[in-house]
Structure 1
Amino acid sequence: MSTSPEFFASCPKGIESLLAEELAGFGADSVRETVAGCYFSGALAVAYQACLWSRLANRILLMVAHFPAGDRDVIYAGIQTVDWDDHIDPGKTLAVTFTGSSPEIRNTHFGALLVKDAVVDQLIARTGKRPSIATKSPDLRIHVRLHKGKVQVGIDLSGDSLHMRGYRQDVGKAPLKENLASAILYRAGWRELAREGASLVDPMCGSGTFLLEGAMIAADIAPGLLRARFGFDRWPGHIPSVWRDAMGDARERRQAGLDNMKNVFLGYEADQWIVRQGLANAQRAGLSKRIRIEQAELANLHQVDCPEGLVVVNPPYGERLGDEASLVYLYQNLGEKFRTTFKGWQGAVFTGNPGLGRCMGIRSRKQYTLYNGALECKLLMFANEEQWFAGYDARDKETANKTSVQSAPLTAGATMFANRLRKNLKQMSKWAKRQDIQCYRLYDADMPEYAVAIDLYGDKVHVQEYKAPASIDEAKATERLQDVMSALPEVLSISPKDIALKSRAKQSGKKQYERQADKNEFFEVKEGSGRFLVNLHDYLDTGLFLDHRPLRLRIAREAAEKRFLNLFCYTGATTVHAALGGARSTTSVDLSKTYLDWARKNLSLNGFSDRHQLEQADCMRWLTDAKGQYDLIYIDPPTFSNSKRMTDVFDVQRDHVELLRLAMKRLAHGGTLYFSNNYRRFKLDESLMDEFEVKDITGETLDKDFERNRRIHQCWKIQHRL
């Protein structure tokens, strides 16, 4: 064999230049890049270095033949030009991997059989012994590639793909291959940062691949040290003494690197089971004392206790949450963490959906195209500094977007209404500011002749017109509504386009859920520590029931470490508060896919992952079939529902006893169930008070903005008797 044979190192597409640089560092000669790999030459010791030290390669092949492709006889003859008894001992096992096709060789299985026959026939003729075929752990694996009329034949020196380091046994969803993770870290400048003692943080770390690869880079640990075997172990050309020297040097470098490493490696993951996987991976890699992985949602990550460095993340980009619309808000939340918690750090986001990356509100300073399997992805590089934040050079938005409202003189009725509205605004705005409340009811038919409810959602207004009694002239009712609409822009200093008007006539049947418009204008509001999407136009309700604000905040205070169940969950606002309050798990049930999608978006907006369970089901039927136990349950059913997906009509007065009995079977002893509804004539069945501890807490769940309308809802706290 030549003293300077030719080799081929395969790698994920997009990192060929990094691999070429790495191979040159091992002493490789004549390095030549091609798609998904590099050719190189050198002594066998160089190939050993690549097998042991390459963080980027998939396989290292010793090239043993190149010849023009033809029909099956030509390929058969070409394979037999190799002296196979130099590469496999008689009676050993082999496997063939064949890629590519031609008009004569139309499928890879046929190509592999042809190569196998050529090898076996030669060995039988020369030695009288037939090698066995073993697809798993063969003594010799042959790789043959048929491409553009040429055949290349290689001996696999790697064994299993080199991305399989040996530390990862159990993985979470959508795991990132180790060599791709290292390539991302290389592109992100981690090698240089690591030498400076920087920290590496992954806020959505899964089973810890970025952290483990980052620590191995920083500590100068050869990624092949943990592997049980390589493809050259039973190859006759193997030189054990050269390999032993390479392994001894790698072990010395590992110990020295660990002794000198000062970096911090910190990861966060929402799923406790995956946290355990990550910690087990670190244990197998011998890095359990160097890597910290904590159970936490992105939403709960407000500060990190370590020096600045690189924050790197591979967030979901389609399949893990399923709904791309919800991912928009997850990426927005991630961008907020970059701008606040990680301000001043270097940032890297690897995504298969670059459009989502644009939702982060930071301009990427550089982008790289990499491939996760066949999927084209982008590595977005960020400098988390103000000059890169979206809108940094813009004028103050509040001033730039402020609209000058030129209104006609108010009528006498409009002036009277405006005076009342100013009085309410003076009182309520002070209260709202003290309580840090952004959305509240400003007016609720305070003057009977002006029968509207007016709610503020930040700098937008939602007006609901109550249906006038039959005794009121329709023209008069219309005139009064015009007075209201003309007074609002003047009193609130807003543009008319920021006012949404709806008629709050009594709804029946399916109409209560039907779409009212199709503007699809969602915007974000704040409540407590939560953020929520509101739509003022498209549905009868906005997505946030303002009267339930105190109860939602109460649940947030009580949710820590509890299993939370939200029935008739609507847009999931209460679920978000429970999650923000530290709930151990949440389950939300609703019959409407529209509202469940909205709930997923609200969860994503607050940085919560898909471990929060959303169930599309009839709540009564779901409770009948449910098996789990919950420590905290919230039920806020509609007054009446006859959705086409239901087998029965739901009537809260008629059905609440069965509903609550079913729910109490799911309530753990010592737990709490909150039951609320908005049916003004509702009466709680007295039999429930004999079975359970029941307390009317309606007064505790009404804020100042609903004190004039204390029948807006009723609420009970229900527990098992001791």
Structure 2
Amino acid sequence: MTKHKFTVTAARGMLPLLETELKQIGIKQYKTEAGSIRFTGSLKEAYQVCLWSRVAVRVLMPIAHFTAETTDQLYNGIKEYAWEEHIDAEDTTLAIDFNSFRSKIHHTQFGAQKVKDAIVDRLRDLSGKRPSVDLHQPDLRVNVYLKHNQAIVSIDLSGESLHKRGYRVSQTNAPIKEHLAAAILLSAEWSKLAREGWALLDPMCGSGTFLIEAALMAADIAPGLQRDYFGFLYWKQHDKAAWQQLKADAERRRLSGLARLPMIMGGDEDKSAVTAAQANIEAAGLSDRIQVIHRDLQNWATVAQTLPDVGLVVSNPPYGQRIGDAASLHNVYEALGDLVNHHLPAWRTTIITDNAQLGKLTGLTLFDSKPFDNGPIACEVLSYRAPKPLRRDAKPVQQEMSASPSPWDKTPKTKAKPAVSSSVVENVSPQAEMFANRLKKNVRHLAKWARKNQLDCYRLYDADLPDYAVAIDVYGDYVHVQEYAPPADIDPLKASERLDEVMQIIPAVLGVKDDKVALKLRQKQRGSNQYESQAALRQRFEVRENDLRFWINLTDYLDTGLFLDHRITRQMLAENSRDKAFLNLFAYTGSATVYAAAGGAKSTTTVDMSNTYLGWARDNMQLNNFVGEQHQFIRADVLAWLNEPATQDLRFDLIFVDPPTFSNSNKMEGVFDIQRDYSDMLQKVAGMLNPGGEIFFSTNRRDFKLNASALKALDIKDISKATLPIDFERNSKIHYCWRMQKSA
């Protein structure tokens, strides 16, 4: 792979953060200088910096270096370079950035004009045609830095400042720039705190920059993913394939990370600021994940009562330079301190200010300060300790169960299930009493059914009452609660109150302890969000389903490890797997493989692109005593694996295909779309079937349509209704499923 030299620029105070980002990308050969970091690497790595750096300003690729003490030397040095290798002469645009430091040519506009003339003259001499000038978003932006009369000529791969993410459609007075907000959050260790489930609050959010940057960071979303312009996109040496792969990978990570977002909330006393923040949040695709309310700083007490125990308060309060008068800002800083001290005592606080004396008015204990520039204003980022930090035990949740002597033995087993409690929840609304009554009714009906069918895990409640839009699943002695994101027109405080009632009622009605109720915000499953997670398998326990055993994790991942709606589908696989070679594609945690092995499959092959989930699948097999060379596990992108020559010779009798709605693929641009690409995928899968073999194909895309005529080699039967469990009857579109047989 060809190596190049690059220069990445960053603002004051951000170079250590940029250095960390480069290391995370995998860049090893770098050198930190004043205002920039130089590194040697591939073009793909430079693209990664453009896409993933949260603090970089520009990514430059030096291409020439010469002495330029006079304008003639500057003109000749530029004209001698082979610009035809970088830009065509016709129907293209060009822009020049020129900066000078202690050099004889110090007029930047004149220097830029000479550079432009030299490039245009060379291209016109070669072809008779010339590019035009576009100062906004040119096809090629050239950067010339004249230092001590030495000209460094670079291609600007970023094209425009990387702080422009693409989501700012509205702004307020004195908005904080995106890369500065990100740098402040990184300095406050927000990435680490978010992984631990901490919430975030900006009570003076302005146009919402902190909120959006915090969400992008917590959800592992590339800051440049929404940008439609980079300086390399129309450059003649652009590596389109590398860029498409990076964007596809970033999209997969975005879809995965959205499900891990903790609570992020903001507000402002200015209604126009709230409107601007909501517009920017919507443009960032995060309107269902970030709450913004109109509220004065002095009136957050009632809201604070609904917030989690731990979190980070981050804000860019006015500090007199552009908004307000420093002498009249005492009340602002005092109110911020009162909010944390009295209502959020276990929360940390980070602010940016140009006046550390104002920060003292919060009454909080400072533990760190870092210098940053907010535009032309020299500022400090002040981080404060939580007044009364919580003490927490980090012990993993474990529940040991005895091994089953025969995993497919149908002998009924008895196990305690949540029982309807006679406890009464006090001080709840009449609507909450209705929710409690519905929950009691469901428990009486479904718990009995679950015991009869040897199930530890089942769906107990699925937004039965519109005002209580949650899904509640029972997993042994634990309860998993997922909140459906409320519509934008729902008062977030009211939604918080309803959720608080839900979390009070569940332990009381089901007779379980509070610490055995796990809460997540539910998100429509899109793409490969079932794949990579930031966490490890640290809080897992066992459950049984049809006397098979599975590891479950209720806290660290989007999904728990077992798709309950596929229970009947898994049973069908077991009933049809005896003495057959079984293949599980997009296998997740391998529950279908466990069922096939329990049903007597002579061999199983489990394929998934995630090392985490493939390891989980292996653990599930071992948990049921299915070990040996006949059980193979393959880590691969399924779509790429289907196209490998060695795969073409493999044959199976029974194949389960349950792909995500979107997924990466090396063989196509962008992302795999299940509706668009299922036919081609299934034809390749069908080619791996032995005569008479079967495919069980499922998707959870609600608007999916299958065209049987596109799969003429298969006899297709829709079994969606037949695979819908009783506990999912309220949601008939939870999945679609087909049984496809190849002619004998």
Check if 1:222 corresponds to 2:217.
no
* Partner residue, 1:160: 160
Indicate conservation of the 8 Å contact 1:19/1:37, yes or no: no
Check if 1:97 corresponds to 2:97.
yes
* Partner residue, 2:294: 295
* Partner residue, 1:113: 113
Give, in angstroms, the shift of residue 10 of structure 1. 1.5
Residue type matched to 1:214 in 2? Answer: A
What are the superposed Cα offsets for residues 288-308 of structure 1, whole Å, 9 maximum, x if unpaired? Answer: 111000100101111422221
Structure 2-normalised TM-score? 0.50
Separation in 2 of the partners of 1:342 and 1:143? Answer: 48
Give, in angstroms, the shift of residue 321 of structure 1. 4.2
Which aligned pairs between 1:422-433 and structure 2 lie closer than 5 A? none
Check if 1:190 corresponds to 2:182.
no
* Partner residue, 1:331: 333
Check if 1:149 corresponds to 2:149.
yes
Separation in 1 of the partners of 2:237 and 2:106? Answer: 33
Indicate conservation of the 8 Å contact 1:101/1:107, yes or no: no
Residue type matched to 1:17 in 2? Answer: P
Separation in 2 of the partners of 1:102 and 1:76? Answer: 19
Check if 1:314 corresponds to 2:313.
no
Give, in angstroms, the shift of residue 101 of structure 1. 4.6
Residue type matched to 1:331 in 2? Answer: Y
Indicate conservation of the 8 Å contact 2:351/2:381, yes or no: yes
Separation in 2 of the partners of 1:268 and 1:322? Answer: 19
Check if 1:126 corresponds to 2:126.
yes
Indicate conservation of the 8 Å contact 2:69/2:103, yes or no: no
Check if 1:370 corresponds to 2:369.
no
User: Secondary structure of the equivalent of 1:340?
Assistant: helix
Indicate conservation of the 8 Å contact 1:267/1:292, yes or no: yes
User: Secondary structure of the equivalent of 2:226?
Assistant: coil
Give, in angstroms, the shift of residue 64 of structure 1. 0.8
Give, in angstroms, the shift of residue 355 of structure 1. 2.0
Which aligned pairs between 1:29-178 and structure 2 lie closer than 5 A? 29-91=28-90, 92-102=92-102, 104-178=104-178
Indicate conservation of the 8 Å contact 1:204/1:269, yes or no: yes
Indicate conservation of the 8 Å contact 2:103/2:147, yes or no: no
Give, in angstroms, the shift of residue 102 of structure 1. 4.5
Separation in 2 of the partners of 1:379 and 1:68? Answer: 41
Separation in 1 of the partners of 2:255 and 2:367? Answer: 36
Residue type matched to 1:384 in 2? Answer: A
What are the superposed Cα offsets for residues 651-708 of structure 1, whole Å, 9 maximum, x if unpaired? Answer: xxxxxxxxxxxxxxxxxxxxxxxxxxxxxxxxxxxxxxxxxxxxxxxxxxxxxxxxxx
Residue type matched to 2:151 in 1? Answer: V
* Partner residue, 1:247: 247
User: Secondary structure of the equivalent of 1:235?
Assistant: coil
Residue type matched to 1:95 in 2? Answer: A
Separation in 1 of the partners of 2:294 and 2:112? Answer: 47
Between 33-42 and 268-277, the greater mean CA deviation after superposition: 33-42
Separation in 1 of the partners of 2:322 and 2:108? Answer: 32
Give, in angstroms, the shift of residue 103 of structure 1. 5.2
Q: Percent identity?
A: 43
Separation in 1 of the partners of 2:233 and 2:323? Answer: 43
* Partner residue, 1:654: none
* Partner residue, 1:25: 24
What are the superposed Cα offsets for residues 615-650 of structure 1, whole Å, 9 maximum, x if unpaired? Answer: xxxxxxxxxxxxxxxxxxxxxxxxxxxxxxxxxxxx
Separation in 2 of the partners of 1:29 and 1:68? Answer: 30
Give, in angstroms, the shift of residue 203 of structure 1. 1.1
* Partner residue, 2:383: 381
Residue type matched to 1:287 in 2? Answer: L
Separation in 1 of the partners of 2:68 and 2:27? Answer: 29
Q: What is the aligned counterpart of 2:357 among 337, 355, 379? A: 355
Give, in angstroms, the shift of residue 265 of structure 1. 0.2
Separation in 2 of the partners of 1:35 and 1:139? Answer: 29
Check if 1:342 corresponds to 2:344.
yes
What are the superposed Cα offsets for residues 419-467 of structure 1, whole Å, 9 maximum, x if unpaired? Answer: xxxxxxxxxxxxxxxxxxxxxxxxxxxxxxxxxxxxxxxxxxxxxxxxx
Separation in 2 of the partners of 1:241 and 1:386? Answer: 52
Give, in angstroms, the shift of residue 70 of structure 1. 1.5
Indicate conservation of the 8 Å contact 2:316/2:351, yes or no: yes
Residue type matched to 1:87 in 2? Answer: H
Separation in 1 of the partners of 2:342 and 2:34? Answer: 40
Q: From the superposition, tell whether residues 194 and 147 of structure 1 become closer, same or farther in structure 2 (CA, over 3 Å).
A: same
Residue type matched to 2:381 in 1? Answer: L
* Partner residue, 1:280: 279
Residue type matched to 1:229 in 2? Answer: Y
Q: What count of residue pairs does the alignment treat as equivalent?
A: 385
User: Secondary structure of the equivalent of 2:120?
Assistant: helix
Q: From the superposition, tell whether residues 323 and 329 of structure 1 become closer, same or farther in structure 2 (CA, over 3 Å).
A: same
Give, in angstroms, the shift of residue 74 of structure 1. 2.2
Separation in 2 of the partners of 1:262 and 1:20? Answer: 26
User: Secondary structure of the equivalent of 2:329?
Assistant: helix
Q: List runs of 5+ in structure 2 lacking aligned partners.
A: 390-744
Indicate conservation of the 8 Å contact 1:45/1:243, yes or no: yes
Indicate conservation of the 8 Å contact 1:96/1:141, yes or no: yes
Residue type matched to 2:48 in 1? Answer: Q
Indicate conservation of the 8 Å contact 2:203/2:297, yes or no: yes
Separation in 2 of the partners of 1:241 and 1:372? Answer: 37
Indicate conservation of the 8 Å contact 1:317/1:351, yes or no: yes
User: Secondary structure of the equivalent of 2:252?
Assistant: helix
Which aligned pairs between 1:522-601 and structure 2 lie closer than 5 A? none
User: Secondary structure of the equivalent of 1:365?
Assistant: strand
What are the superposed Cα offsets for residues 94-149 of structure 1, whole Å, 9 maximum, x if unpaired? Answer: 01011125453131101101111221222222232222122122111111112233
Indicate conservation of the 8 Å contact 1:27/1:42, yes or no: no
What are the superposed Cα offsets for residues 135-165 of structure 1, whole Å, 9 maximum, x if unpaired? Answer: 1221111111122332211111112221111
* Partner residue, 2:588: none
Separation in 2 of the partners of 1:20 and 1:81? Answer: 35
Separation in 2 of the partners of 1:106 and 1:221? Answer: 41
Separation in 1 of the partners of 2:341 and 2:275? Answer: 29
Separation in 2 of the partners of 1:103 and 1:275? Answer: 48
Separation in 1 of the partners of 2:385 and 2:79? Answer: 56
Separation in 1 of the partners of 2:103 and 2:62? Answer: 25
Indicate conservation of the 8 Å contact 2:89/2:130, yes or no: yes
Indicate conservation of the 8 Å contact 2:103/2:146, yes or no: no
Give, in angstroms, the shift of residue 262 of structure 1. 4.3
Q: From the superposition, tell whether residues 372 and 321 of structure 1 become closer, same or farther in structure 2 (CA, over 3 Å).
A: closer
User: Secondary structure of the equivalent of 1:380?
Assistant: strand
Give, in angstroms, the shift of residue 363 of structure 1. 3.1
* Partner residue, 1:402: none
Give, in angstroms, the shift of residue 176 of structure 1. 0.6
Which aligned pairs between 1:303-702 and structure 2 lie closer than 5 A? 303=302, 304=304, 305-307=306-308, 308-385=310-387
Give, in angstroms, the shift of residue 6 of structure 1. 0.8
Indicate conservation of the 8 Å contact 1:64/1:154, yes or no: yes
Residue type matched to 2:335 in 1? Answer: N
Give, in angstroms, the shift of residue 285 of structure 1. 1.0
Q: From the superposition, tell whether residues 53 and 170 of structure 1 become closer, same or farther in structure 2 (CA, over 3 Å).
A: same
Separation in 2 of the partners of 1:82 and 1:26? Answer: 32
Residue type matched to 1:150 in 2? Answer: Q
What are the superposed Cα offsets for residues 593-616 of structure 1, whole Å, 9 maximum, x if unpaired? Answer: xxxxxxxxxxxxxxxxxxxxxxxx
Residue type matched to 2:327 in 1? Answer: A
Indicate conservation of the 8 Å contact 2:215/2:261, yes or no: no
Indicate conservation of the 8 Å contact 2:103/2:149, yes or no: no
Separation in 1 of the partners of 2:106 and 2:158? Answer: 28
* Partner residue, 2:269: 270
**Off by >4 Å, runs of 4+ in structure 1:** none
Indicate conservation of the 8 Å contact 1:12/1:372, yes or no: no
User: Secondary structure of the equivalent of 1:294?
Assistant: strand
Give, in angstroms, the shift of residue 386 of structure 1. 5.9
Between 74-83 and 342-351, the greater mean CA deviation after superposition: 74-83
Q: From the superposition, tell whether residues 321 and 27 of structure 1 become closer, same or farther in structure 2 (CA, over 3 Å).
A: closer
What are the superposed Cα offsets for residues 310-353 of structure 1, whole Å, 9 maximum, x if unpaired? Answer: 11011001145432110123212222222222212111011122
Which protein shows a greater Rg? 1
